[in-house]
Structure 1
Amino acid sequence: MSRIEAYSHTVKSVARQLGFDYCGIAKAEKLNDDARRLEQWLHQGMHGSMQYMENHFDMRTDPSLLVPGARSVITLLKNYYPSQQQSAHTPHISKYAFGKDYHEVIRAQLKELLQALNEKIGEIHGRGFVDSAPVLERSWATKSGAGWIGKNGNLITKHSGSFYFIATLIVDITLDYDDPFAKDYCGSCSRCIDACPTGAIEDNKVINGSKCISYYTIELKDALLPEQMKDQFKDWMFGCDICQDVCPWNRFSKPHHEINFTPIPEILNLSTKQWEEMTEESFKNIFRHSPLKRTKFSGIQRNLRFITRA
């Protein structure tokens, strides 16, 4: 085994020990094709009011601008599919938000991974990212062999679906690169397109973010939601899983083993009435480590009024 192969084996071994469900490696290089697609997507205004998507454009497509001397991009997947589901007639919340905020959980694990690699391999300069920096993680995941981009814009793995968080670790050492995932297994299936109540999924895997329920219930900070969207939210109060729930590949989803993603009991069980009667103080206490804090109490109440108002 060569030194590069040995280093790569170490990377994947440590990733497994830290509880990641997949680890793949791609060569750090400019994503020219992705840059063109992103530029067109932004030009068409499909990011809505998410102005941060326009920032640091070059960094999104050139890993060497994030980590000087970048040689390798390590993609890590972490399953979040829950073993428990919400009670009937409970305002819907995306499964990714059932437990502790994944940013906090995975960021700490990425830091631990980089520290372990420095101890086992030698001095490595790198940065870990999890959905909070200018990184095109789905593109890197495909390049590392993890899966393909579905028509709903999600990364889909052939053996266990799409309920995964994607983390990226960019490092300045050469590693053994995995083969890109070259095949698209969506075929002629259009279930996600047909099921999306707001028509956010367009042709050629283009997602109009400004039409997505997740955009309205999480990203949009307006005091009121657009009246024309009334009756299209299907009781989703925070995020939306419709396009994943109908995907045939998610019949292979298996419950995660990450204790930090254990569902908060209130998310599973609170009735609409209980949500309506919740105080801001209670919200801040119950969800202080939850992704729900991103929308804040005022956003949750806004969303709740919108899906319950006759």
Structure 2
Amino acid sequence: MNLTLAAKSQLIKDKALELGFDLCGIAEANFLSEEKERFTDWLDKDYHGEMGYMANNVEKRLDPRLLVENTKSVVVVALNYYPESKQEDAEAPVLAKYAYGKDYHFVIKEKLNALLAYINEEIGETQGRAFVDSAPILEHAWARKAGLGWIGKNSLLLNRKLGSFMFLGELLIDMPLEYNTEIYPDFCGGCNRCIRSCPTDAIVAPKVVNGSKCISYFTIELKDDITEEMKGKFQNRVFGCDICQDVCPWNRMVKPHSVEDFKPNPKILSLSKDEWFAMNAHEFGDLFKNSAVKRTKFKGLKRNLDFLTE
């Protein structure tokens, strides 16, 4: 079957939606020249804090052809994770919404590998790899280049229908395809609610986040004690932070996802304030065994809980 590049690309996008993804776009793999100065400046200002891995493999982050040899196309997918239900106790420590259900890394990667298998079976033989937030890839930049949305002032990808509560994933393949050529318009306008609402002033300029001041950094990435200057600024956040997303007008009308794996663990949502603070290591392991929260381990969660009460 001799398919055109356009036909191949459409088949991939259709299959991605069939697999449950909400968006799929394709960009040509090349050097992200417009991102180079922005990213290196971000590193020079130490906005990555103790996330030393961000300073590794800079050239690979800017050019996926160095990450996976012979890469021609970057297939980018997005999956809504906005939950229908929220935590029940208004006084309980707050968990980022992306951690309500099963760890997204496994869910997205399984779907991406299924998409890669489909390409090989139905479209043509190709070599490639699937990535989900675990490799030197500037995923927001590639999502924008693939036409999935624009970069908001909080540096997250925004889409008019899905807002920003989206997981992203990428397939780097050696198959030439038809590429997106239209840049999604920036619909943030003069709004700066995300900047004004960040309690730690982590959004230092439109589209520039000082990662070392972000609540997500302190509660997940940081391994040492949380600095005293942050005392009283977390707004009860214990793992991750959604504040800049919660205030975004583009998230007002977002519909809840329908992904079974992302459905919240009822036990987690029903935890009372007292139950959070009384949690032991065994209960932590049982509650969060399939959740992204396990990344912080019980020691990290306990540190975060203690910081909220000290």
Query: Paired residue for 1:67?
Result: 68
Structure 2 Cα separation of the partners of residues 4 and 111 of structure 1: 21
Query: Paired residue for 2:245?
Result: 244
Q: Normalization by structure 1: what TM-score? A: 0.97
Structure 2 Cα separation of the partners of residues 176 and 267 of structure 1: 44
Query: Paired residue for 1:287?
Result: 288
The alignment status of 1:76 with 2:58, answered yes or no, reads no
TM-fit CA distance, 1:179:
2.7
Amino acid of the structure 2 residue aligned with 1:137 = E
TM-fit CA distance, 1:2:
5.4
Identity %: 51
Q: How does 1:194-213 map to 2 (within 5 A)?
A: 194-213=196-215
Structure 1 Cα separation of the partners of residues 267 and 227 of structure 2: 28
Amino acid of the structure 2 residue aligned with 1:20 = F
Among 120, 130, 133, the residue aligned to 1:131: 133
Q: How does 1:73-222 map to 2 (within 5 A)?
A: 73-87=74-88, 88-222=90-224
Amino acid of the structure 1 residue aligned with 2:243 = I
- 8 Å Cα contact 1:90/1:268 also seen in 2: no
- Deviations along 1:240-291, whole A, 9 cap, x unmatched? 0000000000012110011000101232111121122222112112211100
Q: How does 1:15-30 map to 2 (within 5 A)?
A: 15-30=16-31
Structure 2 Cα separation of the partners of residues 182 and 251 of structure 1: 20
- 8 Å Cα contact 1:90/1:269 also seen in 2: no
Amino acid of the structure 2 residue aligned with 1:113 = L
User: Which residues of structure 2 form unaligned runs of 5+?
Assistant: none
TM-fit CA distance, 1:186:
0.7
Query: Paired residue for 2:276?
Result: 275
- Deviations along 1:12-42, whole A, 9 cap, x unmatched? 1110111000000111110012122111100
The DSSP-based 3-state class of the residue aligned with 1:30 is coil
Structure 2 Cα separation of the partners of residues 21 and 56 of structure 1: 30
Q: Provide the aligned C-alpha RMSD in A.
A: 1.2
Structure 1 Cα separation of the partners of residues 274 and 102 of structure 2: 24
The DSSP-based 3-state class of the residue aligned with 1:202 is strand
- Deviations along 1:103-151, whole A, 9 cap, x unmatched? 0111111111101110001211111111110001111111111110000
- 8 Å Cα contact 1:14/1:113 also seen in 2: yes
Structure 2 Cα separation of the partners of residues 184 and 10 of structure 1: 28
Amino acid of the structure 1 residue aligned with 2:105 = H
Structure 2 Cα separation of the partners of residues 288 and 300 of structure 1: 14
Amino acid of the structure 2 residue aligned with 1:80 = Y
- 8 Å Cα contact 1:93/1:267 also seen in 2: no
Structure 2 Cα separation of the partners of residues 41 and 119 of structure 1: 42
- 8 Å Cα contact 1:142/1:180 also seen in 2: no
The DSSP-based 3-state class of the residue aligned with 2:209 is coil
Q: Normalization by structure 2: what TM-score? A: 0.97
Structure 2 Cα separation of the partners of residues 201 and 281 of structure 1: 37
Structure 1 Cα separation of the partners of residues 74 and 253 of structure 2: 27
TM-fit CA distance, 1:205:
1.3
Structure 2 Cα separation of the partners of residues 145 and 9 of structure 1: 14
Structure 2 Cα separation of the partners of residues 171 and 30 of structure 1: 16
TM-fit CA distance, 1:170:
1.0
TM-fit CA distance, 1:204:
3.3
Structure 1 Cα separation of the partners of residues 206 and 157 of structure 2: 15
TM-fit CA distance, 1:203:
1.5
Query: Paired residue for 1:256?
Result: 257
TM-fit CA distance, 1:182:
4.1
- 8 Å Cα contact 2:155/2:209 also seen in 1: yes
- 8 Å Cα contact 1:145/1:178 also seen in 2: yes
Query: Paired residue for 2:52?
Result: 51
- 8 Å Cα contact 2:60/2:136 also seen in 1: yes
- Deviations along 1:163-196, whole A, 9 cap, x unmatched? 0001111111111112332421111111001100
